[in-house]
Structure 1
Amino acid sequence: MSDELPRAHGAPVLTARFRASPEDFRVDEIDAFEATGSGEHLLLTLEKRAMNTAFAAKRIAQWAGVPELAIGYAGLKDRHAVTRQRFSVHLPKRVAPDLAALQSEDLHVLESQWHAKKLPRGALAGNRFVLVLRDVQGQRDAIERRVQEIAARGVPNYFGEQRFGRGGDNVANALAMFAGRRMRREQRTMLLSAARSELFNRVLGVRVAADNWDRGLEGEVWMLDGSRSVFGPEPWSDALAARLAAFDIHPSGPLWGAGELRTASTARHVEESALIDDPAPALRAGLEATGLKQERRALRLKPQQLQHRWLQDEVLELQFALPAGAYATVVLRELGDIGNASAAQLPASAGERGEAASD
C-alpha cells in the first residue's frame, strides 16, 4: 500500500512502533460456523506463535501423515503475531493421531472436533485483534479523539501493504506476468490479487482526497454490510441516507475484471478517471485477459467494538474486530505513522516468508 494514499481523518496524531514481539499483535479468527460433530475431517483450533499459516499447515500434514492438500484453512495469518485459527485435516479412516505430538512451544491445540467438510478459504466471519503500540509519541487528547472519530466514522477500506509483497514488488511482477513471464500457479493467484488491489486503492484514494469515500455519488453502486451483495445505481433517497448512516450499506469500488463497470454518471467518471495513469491501463488489460469478472468491494470499513487503553505512558493497546478480507494496518494508518518492528525480531525457523494476504 503506497504511503502516498491519502488519509481520511487528517494528519497523523502519533508515531509509534508495533510488533516489537509477536505478543503485540494478537489475532483470533471469528468462526463462521460450528463443527458438525461427525465426518472425515478433523477440525483443529490452534494457537500459534511466530508462525505463518502455510508453515503450520505443513507441520500438521507431517504430524497426520497426509499430503498438504488434505489440510484446509479459512484465511492466511501473518507469522509476526500470536494467532488462533482453524485447520481441517482429512482423515478418511477417522483415526486421529496423538494430539500431544502436535503440541510445541509455538503451537498449541485448543480444540478438536470432527467435521463433514474440508475447511474452505474464506470460511470465517472475520478476525478479532489485540494490538499493542509502543514508544507512542503524541498528545494523548488528540490520540483519543482520533480513536473516537475512527470508531464513529470508520476508515477507508484500503488493501493493506501485505497484499503487495515485500518491497511492494507484486504489482511490478504482475505487469511482467501480463507481458508473458511464466509464474507458478500460487504466484499467479497472488499477483492477480495485487493487481486488483492496486486499482481499487487508486480509486479509493481519489475518493478519500475528495472526502466522498463514505457517502454516495450520483450513479453509486452500494454494497450490503457484511456481504458481497450489491445493488444500484438508484436515485438518492431518505431511505438510502438512513441505511448509509446506520452502516447497513457502503459505497463500493471496482475489483477489476472483464465487463462493464456497474457504476454510472459521477461515480463511473471518478472510477474511470482514477485509472488512466500508468500502470493502471496495463493492469486493467491484463486482468481482463485472464477472464476475471468485474466485482465490487466496500470503500468504507468500520472497526467493531473498538476499544483502547493505556498500558503505560507510551504504550497503547487497541482492540477491535474486522470482517474477513479487511486489514488491521489500515486502521492503524489513520492514527499516524507506525513502524513495523518485526523484521529483525523473529527467527527464520518460523517460515522464510510472511504472508502476502489480509490480516
Structure 2
Amino acid sequence: MITDTTQFDIKMLAFAYGEPQETAVLKWSPEDFRVEEQIAYELSGEGEHLWLWVEKIGQNTDWVMKQLAAFAGVTSREMGVAGKKDRQAVTYQWMSCHLPGKADPDFSKLAIPGVKVLKAVRHNRKLQTGGLSGNRFELRLTEVQGDKDTIEGRLKTIQSQGVPNYFGEQRFGIEMQNLVQVSRLFSGEIRPKRHQKSLYLSAARSWMFNIELSERIRQGNWNLAIEGDVFQLQGSKKCFVNEVDADIQCRIAELDIHPTGMMTGRGRSLATGQVAALEQKVMADFSAWQQGLEKVGLNQERRALRALPQDLSWQWQGASDLVLTFTLPAGSYATMVVREVVSVAS
C-alpha cells in the first residue's frame, strides 16, 4: 500500500517543450490569479433556482457555498456549484440556490469578508458540477527571471500547438495527500464521507491519466495519432475511433481533434494496439487502484491529451512582470499552461 507521497510529484511529469529555465513567482497576492467562469447558455430569468454571480477573494469555495446557503435559509444540498476555484485568487463563479415559492434574499445585506454577490438571476435548473464551457484566466507572473525572447517563443508555440492537458496539483490535495488516502480507502483502512471519497477516487484516476500522458510526451507522440488511438473533437466530449491515416494526422495538426487518454474504471476501453498496451501497463503499475475503481463502479471515460488555451495573449508590465490572459475548457488547469512557460518559484 502507498503510504507516502515521494513517488507523486508534478515535477516528474514530462514537459512538452522542454523544462523551462526561466523562473517567475505566481500568486504573490490573490489579485495575481484571476479566474472567471463561462457558461454557454442564457439564464431564463424565471424558475425555482436562483443563480448567484459571486466574487470571492481568498476564500474556499465550499465554505462560501455553506455561508450563502445559511444566509438564504437552505441546506448545502440545495446549492449548486460547477466547480471549485482556487482560494488564493480572485474568482468569479456561479452558484445556484433552490428557492421554490420563496422570495429572493437581499444579498446586499450579506456580510462575508472577501465575498460579494454581484448579481442574482432566476433559472429553471440547478447548476450542475462541471456545468461550464470554460474559464477565463488573467495571471500575473512577478519577478520573472530569464530571457524574454525565449519566454515569448514558448508562448507562441503554445498558441499554435497547445499544452499537455495534465491535471494540476490542486486535484491531488495538499502535498498530494489525496493519493495516499485513496490507497487507505481501497485497503479498508478508512471510510471517508461521500464527498471526501469522491475526491480520492478522482485523484487516483487523474494521476493515472497524468502518467499515461507523460509517457506519450516522452515517446514524442502526445500530439500525434498512433495505432489504437481514440480521438476527441475540439470543444466537445464526443470521442471516436478511426484508422490512423493522413486525414487524421492532418486534423490533429489543425487542432480539430486530439488523441485521448484513459480516465480508468470498469468497462472495455475503446483503445487498441499500441495505446491499449500503454494503458494496460499503467493499470498494472497501479493495480490496487484499478481494482478499487472498478469495484466502486466508476465507468471508463476519455480525456483529451492536449488543451488549447484560447485567445492567449501576454503583456510585459514594468521590468519583470508578465500578465497572461487565456481561456481554457472546463477541467483544464491554468497552472499547467504556466508550467510550460516558466519554472514557478516557491
The TM-score, its normalising length taken from structure 2, stands at 0.94
The 5 Å alignment of 1:242-257 reads 242-257=250-265
SS of the equivalent of 2:59 reads coil
CA distance in 2, matches of 1:157, 1:184: 29
Q: What is the identity, as a one-letter code, of the residue corresponding to 1:109? A: V
Q: Is the 8 A contact 1:63 1:101 kept in 2?
A: no
Q: CA deviation at 1:103?
A: 5.4
CA distance in 2, matches of 1:339, 1:55: 29
SS of the equivalent of 1:217 reads coil
Report Cα offsets for 1:272-305 as digits up to 9, x if no partner: 234433xx11111111111111111100111111
2:321 counterpart of 1:312:
no
Q: What does residue 352 of structure 1 align with? A: none
Q: Is the 8 A contact 1:46 1:109 kept in 2?
A: yes
Q: What does residue 5 of structure 2 align with? A: none
Q: What is the identity, as a one-letter code, of the residue corresponding to 1:320? A: F
CA RMSD of aligned residues (A): 1.4
Report Cα offsets for 1:211-241 as digits up to 9, x if no partner: 1101111111111122221111x22233212
CA distance in 1, matches of 2:312, 2:341: 13
Q: What does residue 86 of structure 2 align with? A: 78
Q: CA deviation at 1:242?
A: 2.7
Q: CA deviation at 1:271?
A: 2.0
Report Cα offsets for 1:135-169 as digits up to 9, x if no partner: 11110111110111111111111111111110111
SS of the equivalent of 1:129 reads strand
Q: What does residue 337 of structure 1 align with? A: 343
Q: What is the identity, as a one-letter code, of the residue corresponding to 1:198? A: W
CA distance in 2, matches of 1:190, 1:53: 15
CA distance in 1, matches of 2:171, 2:233: 24
CA distance in 2, matches of 1:143, 1:249: 27
SS of the equivalent of 1:84 reads strand
2:191 counterpart of 1:185:
no
Pick aligned residue for 1:224 from 211, 229, 233: 233
The TM-score, its normalising length taken from structure 1, stands at 0.91
Q: CA deviation at 1:22?
A: 0.5
Greater shift, 295-304 or 32-41, is seen at: 32-41
Q: Is the 8 A contact 2:151 2:342 kept in 1?
A: no
CA distance in 2, matches of 1:173, 1:31: 33
CA distance in 2, matches of 1:97, 1:199: 44
Q: Is the 8 A contact 1:13 1:139 kept in 2?
A: no
Q: Is the 8 A contact 1:45 1:112 kept in 2?
A: yes
Q: Structure 1: where are the runs of 5+ without partners?
A: 341-359
User: What is the percent sequence identity of the aligned residues?
Assistant: 44
Q: What does residue 3 of structure 2 align with? A: none
Alpha carbons of structure 1 residues 103 and 124: separation in structure 2 relative to 1, 3 Å: farther
Q: What does residue 154 of structure 2 align with? A: 146
CA distance in 2, matches of 1:159, 1:50: 22
Q: What does residue 206 of structure 2 align with? A: 197
Q: CA deviation at 1:187?
A: 1.0
